[in-house]
Amino acid sequence: DVKVTQSSRYLVKRTGEKVFLECVQDMDHENMFWYRQDPGLGLRLIYFSYDVKMKEKGDIPEGYSVSREKKERFSLILESASTNQTSMYLCASSSPGLAVYEQYFGPGTRLTVT
Amino acid sequence: AQSVTQLDSQVPVFEEAPVELRCNYSSSVSVYLFWYVQYPNQGLQLLLKYLSGSTLVKGINGFEAEFNKSQTSFHLRKPSVHISDTAEYFCAAGGRPQGAQKLVFGQGTRLTINP
């Protein structure tokens, strides 16, 4: 089974801090995604990476950056955390081919910025 | 751009009753459709998917969905629900024009099963 792990389930940070959310997948998937989940808004794509060192902005990239130095690891960075970034963050991965759209998700990180 | 609309934000039903969760998508081109489930404090798990072929798709845990191209719908159904089906359900679409490898998600429907 594909396993996607996220470094923390719960995280509390202060306004202005730099925050790193880490995601690791163990199935050699080319594609990795970071989403933000908020009640009533569903999942919104922050950033997408289709290969090492390759990234593409999603629908809501403002205030975020990403890093993908190795194929299995995709990091989401909040350069200066703000209270409106309090949310659930979900990482996902997928592989090209017919199953390219099928994404596998990690358990999520609930981030609170105070 | 592709969009996905889940018509109900919350659906309460009694145990062993049937349920339908509604999903509409906007696209006149090829589209792939998915239903994901999120149990409390967990990530999303794939329930079922439509890529091509038969319009009736069966998934895990007794769920099924029907792809209706003329109505641009992909409603999820289960004939008899259990307490363990309490979760949030997300409909998602991929394919042109969204982009080769991305999904667009609906707002989610919270299914609550009452004993």
Structural domains in chain B, sorted by start? 3-114 (2.60.40.10)
Chain A residues within an 8 Å CB radius of B108: 40, 42
Distance from C-alpha of A96 to C-alpha of B95, rounded to nearest angstrom: 13
Work out the pLDDT band at B30, boundaries 50, 70, 90. low
In eight-state DSSP terms, residue B41 is T
Averaged confidence pLDDT in chain B: 90
**Locate tokens 């679409």: which residue?**
B93
Structural domains of chain A, ranges and CATH numbers in brackets: 16-98 (2.60.40.10)
Other beta carbons less than 10 A from residue A73's beta carbon:
14
Q: Which of B67, B77, B58 is nearest to B17 (CA)?
A: B77
**What's the rounded Cα separation, in Å, for the pair B85 and B82?**
5
Residues of A in contact with B94 (CB under 8 A): 100-101
Instruction: Please write the tens of the pLDDT for every residue from A35-51.
Output: 999 988 999 999 999 88
Q: What is the pLDDT of residue A51?
A: 86
Per-residue confidence (pLDDT) for residue B41, from 0 to 100: 84
* B7 inside 8 A of chain A by CB: no
Contact A6, A107 (CB under 8 A): yes
CB A102 within 8 Å of CB B40: no
Q: Is A97 an 8 Å CB contact of chain B?
A: no
Closest by CA position to B35, among listed B81, B83, B94: B94
Handedness of CA A10, A16, A17, A19 (dihedral sign): positive
Residues of chain A with pLDDT under 50: none
What 3-state DSSP class applies to A101?
Answer: helix
Instruction: Decide if A4 and B43 are in contact by the 8 Å CB cutoff.
Output: yes
* Span B87-109, average pLDDT: 82
pLDDT higher than 80, residue B1: no
Average pLDDT (B73-92) is: 96
CB contact at 8 A, A68 and A22: no
A89 φ, ψ (degrees, to nearest 5): -115, 130
Per-residue pLDDT tens digits for B5-26: 999 999 999 999 999 999 999 8
